[in-house]
């Protein structure tokens, strides 16, 4: 086995010290001279025409520099080329409570807020749609005029022969599953600082620089260019530290565009930072999903066919919606061997904040349904849930029925590991009453094989520059968002070049300096930017080796680079200590190899890293290298409509066992432990992989038990970190991460995805454990005490407790009774006469 | 509202500042003193990202009026490094993966520091209890416990010789 010096070692993130000391800078930590504060006016209506906006009084307020509205930047944009349906600020119409209407740039936050109160907007309310199954019946007052029946997109796929498959089945399970809406709730609220420079030639407003909390700097540059009518070359996007994304910063969030529009109008830098409540309105999280799932199996458990109908409540704009609904269908494949699939996916528009990509994009809710149904089938046909999964494994290398290529496949080892570690065989079904074990599996892409904007462009490009000081500078567009992107890049460069990690400096995600990388989403960074880094480092290494070979007097193939030294294979790596190891320089590097060789008559047998670098620069006139990565054609999927989403160069695999107990009196579910085995190809930095896996499992746990966005007439009832109950340390169980290394043939050093794939298995693992504990099958997420208790009582034939008996049915239903600032300020939504929410007995 | 002159003692230095009477301590630290380590994340003291210590007690700067803390010793995350190097807790958070995106990390530093000052050898339960005042969205807290455990163990080891020497009294 190859022995690596940096790869596979647990190391602290290269930016860890900045984070623990508070010296690391996030977007909101930046200030510019003369900078203004931007504040956004949001719609209090879920669906309304804007008849008139009067900003005069706001403009006249002392301290206000600019007020902008939709008319100031009417160009449409959207993250997907098929979904350009957003504008910086609303033009003619608002589509959800919280939609962006106007922005004030003022010298202080207090003045900006006061100015917002002075803006007069005349709305004409329209009927609003909140339930996707109702929304599709709409024939008038559509959310977007070019989307009949409020249908954003529907897909109907048939792979193999599902009808024949079901006919051959010995048992068919069928049920409806519902997963409610959740959001990222990253700790850092979105923030954008935008600043224009004056062009020295024209004397007018010129280049734009934007510091923004984004996972996708290049997409932001592209969309700013569209909206502002400014060439991309005139826009510089800088991504500072990002305080968590989870998909919530993987597309253009309104404030990113609005800040630039306001800065253009104000002629001075403008910074907008969302309040926590605004973060919830900006949303782009995981949609409420209704899944009608049917699975047919033979007596031995072999799956013969799957039929799946998915309805997603997409909110008011397309966002990533078309991709989400495709992922939900496409990733039915590539986990198990399913010969026949029927998929019907509906992405529906409603008058709520847009849903988008969230960790495990599109796969999580369908996986919950699928893995729950597997458990139901196992119970029905009398097979152990683990055994049922093992009879349905793929046999890689394989192309699935829907065109996904699978090479490395660590799922069997993952299942094996969690069975052993959790004591599955001896303990399942034998735990005391109220306590149980449940199993589930999941998988995820290592980046999408086809980019959002179809082109021949590489998905990632990396430049490396080494100068005479022996410092290795890696320029990568990949976006560090806390997942370890920069550390991974440094590790790969150091490993290939055989130098110490401290030599490597990563310059990342600055569109002026770094070559294009598509960004941090769909778990693509390690695989794609990692491969690009590997190739760039190899290109530089080639130049160093050819020069070193001359100096040593051997063949290039004989040169070894490792541990900051360069030597001829077979010889002793010996003496020359590098400056990094020595801790000081002796001036030799600037004098160059000519003097060095004059000083020492005979050729050297070994060189320090610096000596080799200097020799290479003297020989080649410079030392730079470029590497890029594009997924191979074989991994890009089939030809059917929508085939572009789902294919990936590699898939990660995960198997989990959850141990839970259920309090039958209160319905409270306690998770005691989760064993999570994850196949990440090769763990480049095991402590970081464990962090990603544990974090994913934990986030799944939050969705399984307590996280839920609660809506009333399009108004979010729990827009705060206290009310959107993200698990605290006391609710977070021990999670044992087991790393499985399948060594992918195409991944950098065999690595693949680690940051998302584990999330999807956690929800069904908990659901299946609840079934094992108390025999109830929960088909709606989250498994809140109310739902658990209702199911327990139904099982015993008892009447459901009416939790809200005697409560005013039109009243708010959650703790934050005013439902956020909009309601609190007396601007609560008034309803149109034909509003469906009103027909149901509302106000 | 007119500004008033106040004196704040932050990280052992005294600053004279003109602030609005309703200015929040977090905003004054971040905007007037450039101490951006304390983070704003929830606006309503539910997440702990702005935790600092006032006379050694962890408190939430996002809902504290700056003018009310004159004469107190305020310690922010910028004030806890060990003579220009990382404090043991900071080093351990890096080594064990206790920090991912890092946005909540300064708050956790201050909460854990407060815990270990008042209770140098907390039980697992006590650590969980103390950490529940802060939210993290990346780590699931697991690797934080490892980091905190390691710091406690290292501290105990370094105390051992001293304790052995002082046993006779």
State the Cα–Cα distance between residues A219 and A251, nearest whole angstrom.
Answer: 7
Interface test with A, best of B101, B131, B133, B144 (most A CBs within 10 A): B101
How do residues A736-759 score in pLDDT, each as one tens digit? 999 999 999 999 999 999 999 999
B58 and B122 share a domain?
no
pLDDT over 60 at A599, yes or no = no
Q: Confidence band (pLDDT; 50, 70, 90) for A689?
A: very high
CATH of residue B124 = 1.10.150.120
State how far the alpha carbon of A464 is from the alpha carbons of A6, A560, A579, in Å.
18, 20, 20
Residue B169 lies in a domain: no
Q: What was the pLDDT predicted at A840? A: 44
Q: So what's the pLDDT on residue A826?
A: 43
Of B35, B135, B140, the CB nearest to A695: B140
Does the beta carbon of B44 lie under 8 angstroms from any beta carbon of chain A? yes
Co-location of B9 and B67 in the same domain: yes
CA distance B24 to B29: 9
Per-residue pLDDT at A820 exceeds 70: no
Q: What is the mean pLDDT of residues A313-327?
A: 98
From B22, which residue of chain A is nearest by alpha-carbon distance? Answer: A110
CATH number of the domain residue B24 falls in: 3.10.20.30
SS3 state of residue A713: coil
Per-residue pLDDT, B167: 45
pLDDT of residue A453: 83
Q: From the CB of residue B15, how many other CB atoms can be counted at a distance below 10 Å? A: 15
Question: Does any domain span residue B59?
Answer: yes
Q: Do B142 and A732 touch (CB under 8 A)?
A: yes
User: Per residue in A499-518, pLDDT tens?
Assistant: 999 999 999 999 999 999 99
B168 within a domain of the structure (yes/no): no
Give the count of alpha carbons within 13 A of B143, CB side only: 29
B77 touches chain A (CB under 8 A): yes
Q: Smallest Cβ distance to A187: which of B44, B90, B101?
A: B101
CA distance A249 to chain B (A): 13
Q: What are phi and psi of A444, to 5 degrees?
A: -160, 160
Mean pLDDT value of segment A626-655: 96
Q: Does the distance separating the beta carbons of A730 and B129 come in below 8 Å?
A: yes
Give chain B's length. Answer: 169
Rounded to an integer, what distance in angstroms lies between the CA atom of residue A323 and that of residue A80?
Answer: 9
> At A152, is the secondary structure helix, strand, or coil?
strand
| E-strand stretches of A16-119 | 36-42, 48-54, 64-69, 93-94, 100-106
Least Cα distance to A482 among B83, B105, B118, B150 occurs for B105
Q: What is the pTM of this model?
A: 0.95
Last-in-domain residue among A608, A629, A650? A629
Q: Do A694 and B46 touch (CB under 8 A)?
A: no
Contacts A730 to B, Cβ<8 Å: 128-129, 132
Q: CB distance A243–B93 less than 8 Å?
A: no
| Whether residue A112 is found in the same domain as residue A207 | yes
**Residues in chain A closer than 8 A to B76 (CB atoms):** 22
Whether residue A535 is found in the same domain as residue A478: yes
Binning pLDDT at 50, 70 and 90, where does residue A573 land?
confident
Chain B partners of A482 at a C-beta cutoff of 8 Å?
A: 100-103, 138
- B39 and B15 in a single domain? The answer is yes
Domain around B148: 88-160
Q: Which of A245, A695, A722 has the CB atom closest to B139's CB atom? A: A695
Domain membership of residue A268 (yes or no) is yes
**A605, A629, A653 - which closes a domain:** A629
Q: B-chain residues within 8 Å CB-CB of A16?
A: 93-94, 99, 102
Q: What is the pLDDT of residue A713?
A: 82
What is the number of domains present in chain B? 2
Q: Is B113 on the interface with A (CB under 8 A)?
A: no
Chain B residues touching A245 at Cβ < 8 A:
101
Give the pLDDT band (50/70/90) at residue A841: very low
Instruction: Find, in chain A, the residue whose alpha carbon is nearest to that of B131.
Output: A729
DSSP letter for A292, please.
E
Q: Give the C-alpha separation, A831 to B75, whole Å.
A: 50
Are β-strands A191-198 and A270-273 bridged in parallel, bridged antiparallel, or unpaired? antiparallel
Which residue, of B42, B58, B79, is where some domain finishes?
B79
Task: Tell me, yes or no, whether A696 and A741 share the same domain.
Answer: yes
Token pair listed for B133: 């005042």
The pLDDT-based confidence of A521 (bands split at 50, 70, 90) is: very high
Nearest chain B Cα to A727, which residue?
Answer: B135
Q: Within a 13 Å sphere around the CA of A291, how many CA atoms are in the beta-carbon half?
A: 33
Distance from C-alpha of B44 to C-alpha of B62, rounded to nearest angstrom? 7
CB of A453 within 8 A of CB of A81? yes
What is the least distance, in Å, from the CA of B150 to any CA of chain A? 15
Nearest CA in chain B to A16: B94
In a domain, B165, yes or no: no
Q: Average pLDDT in the B34-57 region?
A: 96
Residue B141 lies in a domain: yes
Phi, psi of A217 (to 5 degrees): -60, -35
Tell whether the model's pLDDT for residue A714 goes beyond 90: no
Is A227 a member of any domain?
yes
Of A241, A687, A698, the CB nearest to B97: A687
- Is residue A398 situated within a structural domain? yes
pLDDT at A538 over 90: yes
Distance from CA of B165 to the nearest CA of A (A): 35
Predicted ipTM?
A: 0.95
* B101 shares a domain with B69: no
CA distance A489 to A318: 33
B2 min Cα distance to partner chain A (Å): 13
A230: left (phi over 0), alpha (psi -120 to 50) or beta: beta
Please give the torsion angle defined by the CA atoms of residues B61, B63, B68 and B69, in that order, rounded to the nearest 10 degrees: -10
Q: Assess whether pLDDT exceeds 70 at residue A522.
A: yes
Mean pLDDT confidence for A214-235: 98
**Are B11 and B69 in the same domain?**
yes
Is A403:A667 a contact under the CB 8 Å cutoff? no
Residue of A9, A11, A15, A16 to mutate when probing chain B, most B C-beta within 10 A: A16
Q: Sorting pLDDT into bands at 50, 70 and 90, what band is A631? A: very high
Distance separating alpha carbons of residues B104 and B95, to the nearest angstrom:
17
Asked if B79 is an interface residue toward chain A (Cβ–Cβ < 8 A), one would say no
Task: Kindly state the average pLDDT of the residues A816-822.
Answer: 46
Would you say residue A817 has pLDDT above 50? no
pLDDT at A673: 98
CB neighbour list of residue B86: distance below 8 Å, 6 or more residues apart: A17, A20, A21, B94
In B, residues 147-166, which contact A (CB 8 Å cutoff)?
none
pLDDT tens-digit readout, A420-461: 999 999 999 999 999 999 999 999 999 999 998 888 899 999
CA distances to A344, A392, A640, A646, B155 from A330, in Å: 11, 17, 11, 5, 52
Which residue range is the domain that position A488 belongs to?
457-629
How far apart CA B16 and CA A427 sit, in angstroms, is 65
What pLDDT is attached to residue B124? 94
A612, A733: one domain: no
In this structure, is residue A278 part of a structural domain?
Answer: yes
Give me A39's structure tokens: 């504040």
B103 and B150, same domain (yes or no): yes
Domain assignment present for residue B102? The answer is yes
pLDDT of the residue at A715: 87
Least confident of A82-96, A484-498, A508-522, A595-609: A595-609
Tell whether A93 and A229 lie within a shared domain.
yes
Partners of B94 on chain A (C-beta within 8 Å) are 12-13, 16-17, 19-20
Residue A674 sits in the same domain as residue A731: yes
Q: What is the reported pLDDT for B168?
A: 45
Cβ count within 10 A of residue B36? 23
> pLDDT band for position A330 (50/70/90)?
very high
Is A188 within 8 Å of B128 when comparing Cβ atoms?
A: no
Both tokens of A590, joined, read: 């600037």
Task: Give A804's pLDDT tier (boundaries 50, 70, 90).
Answer: low
| Predicted local distance difference test score (pLDDT) of residue B42 | 94
The answer on A337 and A293 residing in a single domain is yes
Q: B142 vs A730: CB contact, 8 Å cut-off? A: no
What is the total count of domains within chain A?
3
pLDDT of residue A717: 85
Position A824 scores a pLDDT of 45
| A502 belongs to a structural domain | yes
How many Cβ pairs within 8 Å bridge chains A and B?
Answer: 177
Q: Do B153 and B95 share a structural domain?
A: yes
Long-range CB contacts (within 8 A, 24+) of A141-144: A141/A47, A143/A47, A143/A95, A143/A316, A143/A349, A143/A350, A143/A351, A144/A85, A144/A95, A144/A349
- Chain B residues whose CB is inside 8 A of the A242 CB are 101
Give the pairing type, strands B13-19 and B57-60.
unpaired
Is residue B140 situated within a structural domain?
yes
- Asked whether residue A336 is domain-assigned, the answer is yes
Choice among A160-174, A243-257, A452-466 with the minimum mean pLDDT: A452-466
Query: Please, are residues B74 and B37 in contact by the beta-carbon 8 Å criterion?
Result: no
Domain-located, residue A225: yes
Mutation target for B interface from A109, A187, A656, A735: give the one with most B CBs within 10 A. A187
CATH number at residue A714: 3.30.365.10
Separation between Cα atoms, residue B52 and residue B109, nearest integer Å: 9
* A171: number of Cβ within 10 Å: 14
* Average pLDDT over all residues of chain A: 93
Q: How confident is the model at residue B165 (pLDDT cuts 50, 70, 90)?
A: very low
Strand ranges of the sheet holding A565-568, from the earlier edge strand across to the other edge: A559-562, A565-568, A606-608
Q: Distance between CA A659 and CA A642 in Å, rounded?
A: 38
Together in a domain, A518 and A376: no
Strand B51-54 and strand B57-60: the pairing is antiparallel
Instruction: Flag if A721 and B42 touch (Cβ within 8 Å).
Output: yes
Q: What pLDDT, on a 0 to 100 scale, did the predictor assign at position A802?
A: 66
Same domain, A621 and A642: no
Residue A13 lies in a domain: no
Q: The tokens of A114 are what?
A: 């006061």
Average pLDDT over residues B30-35: 97
Same domain, A547 and A668: no
- Residue A723's closest chain B neighbor by CA? B46
Nearest C-alpha in B relative to A31: B31
Picking from A31, A691, A701, the nearest residue to B100 by CB comes out as: A691
Q: Which of A13, A19, A278, A285 to mutate to test the interface with B (most CBs of B within 10 A)?
A: A19
Chain B residues in contact with A735 (beta carbon < 8 A): 140, 142
SS3 for A527-549 is HHHHHHHHHHHHHHHHHHHHHHH
Specify the pairing of strand B73-75 against strand B51-54.
antiparallel
Has residue A212 got a pLDDT over 90? yes
Helix runs in B23-141, H state only: 25-27, 88-96, 105-118, 124-131
| Same domain for A318 and A173 | yes
Cis amide leading into A486 (omega within 30)? no
Structure confidence at residue A687 (pLDDT):
98
* pLDDT-based confidence at residue B82 (cuts at 50, 70, 90): confident
In terms of CA atoms, which chain A residue is nearest residue B34? A29
Q: Which of B55, B79, B103 is the last residue of a domain?
A: B79
Instruction: Give the pLDDT confidence of A115-133 residue by residue, as tens digits.
Output: 999 999 999 999 999 999 9
Tell whether B52 and B94 lie within a shared domain: no
Contacts 24+ apart (CB under 8 A), A429-432: A429/A772, A431/A659, A431/A772, A431/A773
- Name every chain A residue with its beta carbon within 8 A of the beta carbon of B42: 276, 720-722
Same domain, A311 and A398: yes
Q: For position A238, which CATH number holds?
A: 3.90.1170.50
CB contact under 8 A, B97 and A691: yes
Domain stop point among B15, B45, B79:
B79
Q: Which residue of A has its CA nearest to B96?
A: A687
In a domain, B126, yes or no: yes
């Amino acid at each position: 086995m190859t022995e690596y010096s940096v790869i596979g070692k647990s190391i602290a993130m290269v930016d860890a010290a900045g984070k623990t000391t508070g010296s690391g800078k996030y977007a909101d930590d930046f200030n510019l001279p003369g900078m203004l504060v931007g504040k956004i006016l949001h719609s209090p209506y879920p669906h309304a025409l804007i008849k008139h906006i009067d900003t005069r009084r706001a403009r006249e307020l002392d301290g206000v520099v600019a007020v902008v509205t939709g008319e100031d930047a009417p160009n449409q944009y959207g993250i997907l080329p098929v979904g350009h349906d957003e504008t910086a600020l609303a033009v003619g119409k608002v589509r959800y409570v919280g939609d962006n209407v106007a922005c004030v740039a003022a010298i202080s936050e207090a003045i900006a807020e006061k100015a917002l109160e002075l803006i007069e907007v005349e709305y004409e309310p329209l009927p609003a749609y909140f339930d996707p199954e109702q929304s599709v019946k709409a024939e008038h007052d559509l959310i977007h005029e070019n989307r009949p029946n409020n249908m954003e997109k529907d897909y109907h796929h048939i792979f193999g022969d599902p009808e024949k498959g079901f006919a051959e089945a010995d048992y068919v399970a069928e049920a409806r599953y519902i997963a409610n809406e959740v959001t990222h709730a990253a700790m850092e609220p979105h923030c954008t600082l935008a600043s224009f420079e004056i062009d020295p030639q024209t004397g007018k407003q010129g280049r734009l620089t934007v510091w923004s909390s984004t996972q996708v700097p290049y997409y932001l540059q592209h969309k700013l260019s569209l909206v502002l009518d400014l060439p991309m070359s005139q826009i510089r996007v800088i991504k500072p530290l990002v305080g968590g994304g989870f998909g919530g910063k993987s597309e253009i969030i309104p404030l990113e565009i609005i800040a630039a529009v306001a800065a253009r109008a104000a002629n001075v830098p403008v910074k907008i930072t969302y309040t926590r409540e605004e973060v919830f309105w900006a949303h782009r999280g995981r949609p409420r999903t209704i899944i009608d799932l049917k699975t047919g199996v033979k007596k031995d458990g072999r799956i013969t066919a799957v039929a799946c109908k998915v309805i997603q409540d997409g909110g008011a704009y397309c966002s990533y919606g078309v991709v989400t609904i495709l992922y939900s269908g496409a990733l039915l494949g590539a986990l198990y061997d399913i010969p026949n699939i029927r998929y019907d996916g509906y992405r529906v528009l409603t008058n709520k904040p847009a849903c988008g990509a969230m960790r495990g994009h599109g796969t999580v809710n369908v996986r919950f349904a699928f893995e729950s149904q597997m458990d139901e089938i196992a119970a029905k046909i009398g097979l152990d849930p683990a055994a049922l999964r093992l009879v349905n494994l793929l046999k890689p290398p394989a192309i699935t029925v829907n065109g996904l290529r699978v090479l490395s496949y660590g799922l069997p080892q993952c299942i094996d590991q969690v069975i052993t570690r959790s004591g599955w065989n001896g303990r399942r079904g034998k735990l005391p009453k109220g306590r149980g074990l449940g199993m589930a599996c999941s998988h995820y892409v290592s980046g999408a094989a086809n980019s959002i904007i179809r082109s021949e462009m590489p998905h990632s490009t990396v430049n490396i520059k080494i100068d005479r000081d022996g410092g290795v500078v890696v320029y990568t567009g990949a976006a560090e968002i806390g997942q370890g992107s920069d550390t991974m890049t440094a590790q790969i460069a150091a490993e290939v070049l055989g130098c110490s990690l401290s030599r490597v400096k990563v310059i990342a995600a600055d569109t002026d300096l770094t070559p294009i990388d598509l960004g941090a989403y769909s778990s693509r960074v390690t695989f794609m930017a990692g491969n690009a880094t590997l190739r760039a480092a190899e290109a530089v290494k080639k130049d160093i080796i050819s020069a070193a070979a001359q100096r040593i007097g051997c063949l290039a193939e004989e040169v070894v680079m490792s541990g900051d030294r360069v030597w001829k294979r077979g010889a002793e790596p010996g003496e020359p200590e590098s400056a990094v190891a020595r801790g000081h320089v002796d001036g030799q590097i600037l004098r160059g190899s000519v003097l060095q060789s004059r000083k020492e008559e005979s050729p050297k047998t070994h060189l320090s890293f610096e000596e080799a670098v200097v020799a290479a620069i003297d020989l080649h006139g410079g030392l730079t290298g470029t590497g890029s990565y594009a997924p191979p054609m074989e991994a890009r999927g089939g030809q059917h409509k929508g085939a572009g989403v789902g294919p990936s160069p590699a898939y990660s695999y995960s198997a989990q066992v959850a141990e839970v107990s259920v309090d039958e009196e209160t319905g409270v579910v306690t998770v005691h432990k989760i064993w999570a085995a994850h196949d990440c190809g090769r763990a480049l930095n095991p402590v970081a992989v464990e962090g990603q896996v544990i974090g994913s499992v934990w986030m799944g746990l939050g969705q399984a038990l307590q996280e839920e966005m609660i809506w009333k007439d399009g108004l979010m009832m729990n827009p705060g970190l206290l009310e959107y109950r993200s698990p605290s340390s006391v609710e977070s169980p021990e999670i044992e991460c087991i790393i499985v290394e399948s060594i992918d043939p195409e991944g950098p050093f065999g690595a693949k995805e680690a940051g998302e794939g584990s999330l999807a298995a956690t929800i069904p693992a908990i659901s299946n454990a609840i079934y094992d504990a108390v025999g109830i099958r929960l088909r709606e997420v989250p498994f809140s005490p109310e739902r658990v208790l209702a199911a327990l009582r139904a099982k015993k034939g008892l009447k459901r407790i009416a939790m809200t008996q005697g409560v005013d049915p039109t009243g708010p239903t959650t703790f934050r009774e005013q439902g956020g600032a909009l309601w609190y300020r007396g601007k609560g939504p008034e309803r149109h006469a034909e509003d469906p929410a009103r027909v149901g007995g509302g106000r | 509202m007119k500004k008033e002159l106040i004196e704040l003692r932050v990280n052992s230095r005294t600053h004279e500042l003109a602030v609005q009477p309703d200015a929040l301590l977090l905003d004054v630290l971040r905007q007037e003193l450039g101490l951006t380590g304390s983070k704003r994340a929830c606006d309503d003291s539910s997440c702990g990202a702005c935790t600092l210590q006032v006379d050694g007690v962890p408190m939430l700067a996002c809902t504290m009026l700056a003018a009310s803390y004159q004469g107190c010793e305020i310690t922010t995350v910028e004030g806890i490094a060990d003579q220009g190097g990382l404090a043991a807790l900071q080093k351990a958070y890096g080594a064990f993966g206790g920090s991912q995106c890092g946005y909540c990390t300064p708050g956790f530093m201050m909460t854990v520091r407060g815990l270990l000052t008042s209770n140098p050898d907390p039980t697992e339960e006590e650590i969980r209890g103390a950490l529940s005042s802060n939210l993290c969205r990346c780590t699931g807290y697991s690797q934080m416990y490892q980091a905190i455990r390691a710091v406690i163990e290292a501290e105990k080891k370094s105390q051992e010789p001293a304790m052995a020497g002082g046993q006779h009294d």
